[in-house]
Structure 1
């Protein structure tokens, strides 16, 4: 249900059917501002144009002043289904469409550099996705020509540095959502649409899967301003790149292209920029057909068994298999294998029909 008015300066909206159509709470893109996908993503729709909502009400709702600019994608993009929900924060937009959530890092003028507000917004977005309870896939991408240029060096480091407690609290918020993203129950997919430096490379490495444009640029530039990649960035490099490549980029600060990122294993696929949306959607369609309990437990088994010897790993995965059976009502036997028994599908080529499990 759409609503206005909360301390987090949030806006939920139900998408309209065509460009310029008002959403159900009365917002409309101003003429000439909501006619393109890019205009909507950047957020040129002004909350003060809301029909029937006086300035005082907007101010009280938190959608005036600092948060007056809101993304108008929720009623102007023809490729959005009616019923899709949108949460607009100061630096992050969250879109939820059935079992798929998309997080847009939204500071395009700063190449989506992560400032303290973005770290707070990311925690709030992850809270909302978890609370929804039905999300299977979470796509993380950037607005404009950048995925993320990494941490905002001024707001995260220079400005709070002289106050140790402020510096600690400022960056703890970032470290918390990095850890949350790594252990998130839904499948996380980085859609890298441009620059991915430092924290941008880190987020790519934390996600379960990643797709990039071939011309995107990745890098660990920390060595260029006198430190080593921290906050998990070195971890992301060592766990996603071969040793020699990880050390090369850590020690030189050089950049790699999206194509190189695929060759080294940082991303799953590198595609031409005009195919990035389609390739990401292809992967998402595969994910959302799966049992969400199986997806979550499969991730847990992978992560835990990377540090186990084989006998221990077998004991662990057998225990998790029993857990899966219990939590899903033995769906893999009662539905999936029964369909296979009838030759209704070929497990090596497709997944089973979960509609029977829900009936």
Structure 2
């Protein structure tokens, strides 16, 4: 079984974390979440690493949560369900508060929790054909663990539309929503990432970290928030609507609330 997270060192104090479930469009399951969090904790204590690039293996960045994992977690006892939801909430908090500068490199697109990862990164650059959506509500799930980071990024007004509707939107729209910073042709993506890396490396390393820390002092990294969102997610994925929505998706059918036209 291959490692769900690949870690690669590059030159000039730069490393890359690669979500490595390409056959599952890099969806988040228990093993990936644990390995991702482990790498983030290690990076937090390594002052020689200045920049981490986060990407996805294969054609997609991240397709959100693995629905088979979500279904399995919902069928465990309440404590295990909560603990696994907490691991996901903690992953977003660890990424959001990481002292190292983070750059997300997006190909294909990002769904749900994948957008949550982008909203926790400092810089996001995407290939222009990438697509995005918050599809959780169509599955009877609440996007609780990503909610704080998404609201901070796109604001309440835009969240009301795009999180409630679950509609797919383009790379250009994602840029207008502040989810990504730049959209480039896929053949120019590596160059755009390298260009951004060089800009960041030209900043004084300690000052760069201190500036990020200063920004974070005004954000929402409280432990209580992580616990609250984990509790909401655990309850949500055990609900009848979530069970119906996830089962319908896995069976390639429609849940009861989607009426035939």
| TM bucket normalised to smaller | 0.7 to 0.9
Match of 2:198 among 276, 281, 285: 285
Q: In structure 2, what is the equivalent of residue 93 of structure 1?
A: 6
Post-superposition CA distance 1:298-337 (Å, at most 9, x none): 1122232469xxxxxxxxxxxxxxxxxxxxxxxxxxxxxx
Match of 1:225 among 134, 139, 148: 139
Q: What TM-score, normalized to structure 2?
A: 0.79
Q: Secondary structure of 1:159's partner? A: helix
Which runs of structure 2 are paired with 1:166-315 in the superposition (5 Å)?
166-231=80-145, 233-305=146-218
Number of residue pairs matched by the alignment? 218
Contact 2:41 2:94 in 1 (8 A): no
Post-superposition offset of 1:243 = 3.4
Partners of 2:18 and 2:31 in 1: CA distance: 14
Post-superposition offset of 1:158 = 1.0
Q: In structure 2, what is the equivalent of residue 117 of structure 1?
A: 31
Post-superposition offset of 1:242 = 4.1
Partners of 1:195 and 1:168 in 2: CA distance: 28
Q: In structure 1, what is the equivalent of residue 17 of structure 2?
A: 103
Post-superposition offset of 1:190 = 1.1
Post-superposition offset of 1:276 = 1.2
Post-superposition offset of 1:187 = 0.8
Partners of 1:111 and 1:168 in 2: CA distance: 25
Greater relative contact order (CA < 8 Å, ≥ 6 in sequence): 2
Post-superposition CA distance 1:178-210 (Å, at most 9, x none): 111101001111111122001100000010111
Q: Secondary structure of 1:177's partner? A: helix
Partners of 2:111 and 2:54 in 1: CA distance: 15
Partners of 1:247 and 1:275 in 2: CA distance: 33
Partners of 2:128 and 2:197 in 1: CA distance: 19
Contact 2:97 2:216 in 1 (8 A): no
Q: Secondary structure of 1:215's partner? A: coil
Q: In structure 2, what is the equivalent of residue 138 of structure 1?
A: 52
C-alpha spacing 1:306/1:160, structure 2 compared with 1 (3 Å): closer
Which runs of structure 2 are paired with 1:64-79 in the superposition (5 Å)?
66-67=1-2
List gaps (5 residues or longer) in structure 2. Answer: 221-261
Compare CA radii of gyration and give the structure with the larger one.
Answer: 1
